[in-house]
Copies of this chain bind each other. A is one copy, B any other.
Amino acid sequence: MTARPPGGAEDLPRYAEIRRDLEGRILSGEWPPGYRVPSEFELVERYGCSRMTVNKALSALAAAGLINRRRRSGSFVAAPRSQETVLEIHDIQAEIAATGKPYRYEVLDRAARPATAEEAGRLGVRPGAQVLALLVRHFADGRPFVVEDRLVDLATVPEALDEPFAAAPPGTWLIGRIPWTEAEHCIEAVAAEAPLARLLQVAKGTPCLTVERKTWQAGSPVTWVRLSYPGDRHRLVARFSPAGGRRQGA
């Protein structure tokens, strides 16, 4: 029963072929939400392969959220999910480098000190905990690109205390040094206050896109950062396809 389909053997592994086939029926609407997908045994017969192979295809579909599986009942086409997107927020240096424009940054402020109440709340440490506060401005093509306001928890990253961030900006330095296990992002539109407007060289009140990120490692705060982009010079773009093509790394 290892016969290949004579027509369109597309060189995909068997399980991928099966997955694509089932996926096509779901995405085309031929199998609407709630439809009961054939059982593993039925698919084993239909495709002439072993159960493990069919199972691999079905598990992938379940992981992608296209079907729900229940013992004894079977597998059912899932209701369409909420619009979802994977937003990759790159290292700023890499982001600017990708545009081909010359990159430069300057550390405007750098201070290790006990966290104020507000900073402690942002970073998720107790007030008075030692933090490293940084203010960095990044330039693309000589123009201000983004202002970076950062707090680093010195309890989690003590080696940051002696780092001058002369060779690499804090974001680049931190990534690749501290593996993070959890991150929370908050994206909003704000009007530039006077200090920010001055740093970005825009008029006061200019809409800015801010990305706030809090990062943890195994439950311990690592860093909090707010990136403020001039709204007319930056946008976040993301493309997503639900059929599981996520994560191509690097």
- Return the contact of A26 from the options B64, B179, B208 (Cβ within 8 A): B179
- Is the CB–CB distance between B26 and A185 below 8 Å? no
> Within 8 Å CB of A28, what residues of B?
179, 218
| Beta-carbon nearest neighbor of A78 in chain B | B249
- Is the CB–CB distance between B27 and A231 below 8 Å? no
- Is the CB–CB distance between A231 and B247 below 8 Å? no
Chain A 206-250 interface 0/1 with B at a Cβ cutoff of 8 Å (1 = within): 111100010101100000000001011011111111110001011
- List A11-41 residues whose CB lies under 8 Å from chain B: 26-29, 33
A65 within 8 A of B: yes
> Within 8 Å CB of A206, what residues of B?
191
- Is the CB–CB distance between A179 and B85 below 8 Å? no
Copies in the complex: 2
A80 within 8 A of B: yes
Bound CA span A29–B78, Å? 38
Bound CA span A185–B84, Å? 9
- Return the contact of A249 from the options B65, B236, B239 (Cβ within 8 A): B65
- Is the CB–CB distance between A183 and B80 below 8 Å? no
- Return the contact of A90 from the options B83, B218, B238 (Cβ within 8 A): B83
A106 within 8 A of B: no
- Is the CB–CB distance between B79 and A88 below 8 Å? no
| Beta-carbon nearest neighbor of A181 in chain B | B27
- Is the CB–CB distance between B65 and A185 below 8 Å? no
A91 within 8 A of B: yes
| Beta-carbon nearest neighbor of A246 in chain B | B246
> Within 8 Å CB of A84, what residues of B?
86-89
* Nearest CB of chain B from residue A84's CB, rounded to whole Å: 5
A117 within 8 A of B: no
A94 within 8 A of B: yes
Bound CA span A249–B90, Å? 26
A184 within 8 A of B: yes
A187 within 8 A of B: yes
> Within 8 Å CB of A239, what residues of B?
182-185
- Return the contact of A240 from the options B64, B183, B186, B191 (Cβ within 8 A): B183
Counting from the closest, the 6 A-B pairs by CB-CB distance are: A189-B231, A207-B207, A189-B189, A188-B235, A189-B209, A189-B207
